[in-house]
Amino acid sequence: AFGFYQLKKYDLAWKHIKIAEKLGVEISKDQLNAIKRKLR
């Protein structure tokens, strides 16, 4: 997800971070918020 973020592909970053969350990966609120801000 963060590779996509670095590539400025925020929609893919969001999709992948949500998948990671569902799989049990702990994602910080700061990381989620950073991607959300870029999606706007």
| pLDDT the model gives residue 32 | 93
Helix (H, G, I), strand (E, B) or coil at 40: coil
Cβ burial, residue 17 (10 Å; 0-12/13-18/19+)? buried
Q: Where are the domains of the chain?
A: 2-39
In whole angstroms, how large is the CA radius of gyration of the chain? 9
| pLDDT the model gives residue 40 | 85
| pLDDT the model gives residue 2 | 85
For 1-40, the pLDDT digits (tens) are 889 999 999 999 999 999 999 999 999 999 999 999 999 8
Give the whole-number percent of the chain exceeding pLDDT 70.
100
